[in-house]
Chain A
């Protein structure tokens, strides 16, 4: 293969914050003390926090050095399955940084926040257009928060009909957040297995669905990267028994402009703006998880909602059946600005093209690697493909070893050991923003690793070699937790 991307540059050591500094230093430009010092009762005062005092330069070097120990999308390919690590456009950061947005106070009268409210209103409209559903609330702040909103909507809907259902169907390919979100509403998840094609069968749902069951939570495309071809029929079964269909839209990046979610029978769906709509992940957030619904569920959406009245955007609380509030204010507005900017930059044709190319890239990787890695479901995939370590197990090489070795080649590993339905899963989601040369380079790296698994398996077991640290002792970290210094 061509020269590896992975290389060892100069890695600077850096101490912990409190191992640095000197009492009396400061990195803050202190405003003038232009009022007299007021009386203060010592009964209420404390000693103040035990923080180190650092100069501005010390702070800047500290965080700059730390940043160089991270791998990120801007460093290279980050094909984490289910996470949609696409490129995060820089112009969107610039828009979110506009002073009028950054300094807007959430509790001023609506007439003084028209720009912010218009953005929320239009973003919700765009998301209805993209999903094919009827109404949206952008208040949930992350995917799991959107799921919770969805479950609360389902709960409120059944309650409004005077029924209390206790169960919910969750397929074995679901994200871990699905059962955890359902449990918050007191629903007992009923697991259903996917069939030999890796998707749900009509029969298994017909068997599981009854009038005690609130509905089903389906990720489509599912976490094997496969389209749930039977979903329309499944929805009909669930609806016939009075249930609702929850679609986890974490994988929307595969189907924008192609699938009409409303037509498949999905009643509620959350989206991840930090996946499909190119807002950055920030090392674990903040995200945004809008919840989208069919007309009949609109009265239950979180409040306040942004509505248009006499040409003005206003915040309305006038939805008596609403599930209530999910966030102190209106959600992660700063993230919404970036997703809004992305949609306005892409347009309908651009978004559809993004989905097509995301699917092309995943299928390309799948076709070019399936002769060296075991592909449990050899069918056309959507935006991601799932391999296993079955072939390499012959040399006692596991998925983890290959993932760690991939770091030495200069790539972030794919998602590993998920979905749980496949043993030793390697879940690759290249996204549409990777060009063919980079995909080829990644493919060559994985092919080289599969060769190393045969010829020099010890190399893989000891990898990575080029990172700042070697493999870390996670067991010790959990056994005797040290969570603060």
Chain B
């Protein structure tokens, strides 16, 4: 095996130093009745070439080729990724290093993550961003836990227009805590109806997603005003951070915590993971934050350097009193998104967000012109909901099967009161021809 370097001579001399006769004897301390008797039931080892043939065959069994035109986002977005992003983020020095516990030998990762924290804070309009969480859903769960810790209250108001799968994750996380979740209904325009939060029991936080699951922008400022009156926090969640290239970011609208998924920023969809849990807050809450933080400091000679800091919040120091149990996070994904953000720059990110908006608007009007109903009127970014005629499912299936077009995601499994409603996503990866073809096909 090419990963195992020991020759028979190495083995002989090393076993001699250790004072045992065979490799088996190294395990003498393990009681007989704990040992495995047979071999592990695994397929025979493959050569590099056999493996690649086999894996290529598996990878071919997904709807991912260029022939497919997927108009589906819903938390996992198709964007162009510059070749430089994949190239730089796959440098061995970044990929095969550990968490930077020894800063003198890890300045590359540390500066890159400090820069990521800075770019993430600026994008979200927040004072401090951590080094990453696992994904958008777990970042939201941790944000709710953080709000419970800060406010010492137990009620949480959560919008029903937060990604339905995120809401399932938060229920898993909050299950044993005794916290109470109140689901906020939706208004006719496709945004959250939070008008009644003033009457609700003492809330620790209200959590909204913007753009929300239907693609609509929420009025975070108004929600912030209401929740701050009762000393609760506004948690602003997101699945498509590219929107903040064009629209107001969570911080400028009064969010106390901004959290969500950063996959959009240069990370492939990869069947849903790994993505990037982004997490940011105001500085006054930093000591209650989960996850790692990189800070600026100086070395003994006064030279600029970076270290992991405020680690007294973390599990390896504070154990059961830690702000989270998170240890390994999604560091390389954070680095990848930083390379992507640096490649676009401020001007590029704005232009790209604008292009996403324009394309989505173009498709909306074309569908409207063709007689379909755009369900919600609130402003949207690159996703929106369309009501197709009843029985559209057969058309949808046929387009997927025969034309390799995914005409949106059916909302019925998530919102049973919205049959025949589909969530469509348009990004810069779709040309005008693709959009025109879609409009043609859904009418056929």
Contacts and interface: CB of A to CB of B under 8 A. Distances in A.
Interface residues of A, number: 200
Contact of A328 (B62, B75, B270, B351): B75
Interface in A67-87: 67-75, 78, 80, 83, 85-87
Nearest to A335: B274
Given A229-B29, A470-B300, A481-B295, 7 more contacts: A88-B96, A105-B63, A141-B273, A282-B332, A333-B271, A337-B55, A483-B309
Contact of A51 (B122, B171, B246): B122
Nearest to A34: B432
A302 to B, nearest CB: 8
A345 interface: yes
Interface in A37-57: 37-41, 44-46, 48-54, 56
> How many interface residues does chain B have, given as a range?
35 or more
Nearest to B297: A477
A308 interface: no
Interface in A219-233: 226-227, 229, 231-232
A9 interface: no
Interface stretch (B152-160, B315-323, B384-392): B315-323
B55 A98 contact: yes
A344 interface: yes
Contact of B34 (A64, A75, A103, A259): A259
Nearest to A181: B325
A40 B55 CA distance: 46
Given A100-B61, A341-B51, A472-B103, A141 B252 contact: no
Interface string A465-483: 0011111111011100111
A74 B96 contact: yes
Contacts of B431: 32, 34
Interface string B294-334: 11111111010111011110111111111011111111110
A412 to B, nearest CB: 6
Interface string B114-128: 110111011101011
A283 interface: yes
A112 interface: yes
Contacts of B56: 98, 100
Contact of B172 (A119, A258, A326, A361): A326
Contacts of A477: 295-297, 307, 309
B320 A179 contact: yes
Interface stretch (B180-188, B197-205, B226-234, B357-365): B357-365
A243 to B, nearest CB: 17
Interface in A441-459: none
B118 A283 contact: no
B65 interface: yes
Contacts of A59: 84, 88, 339, 342-343
A362 to B, nearest CB: 9
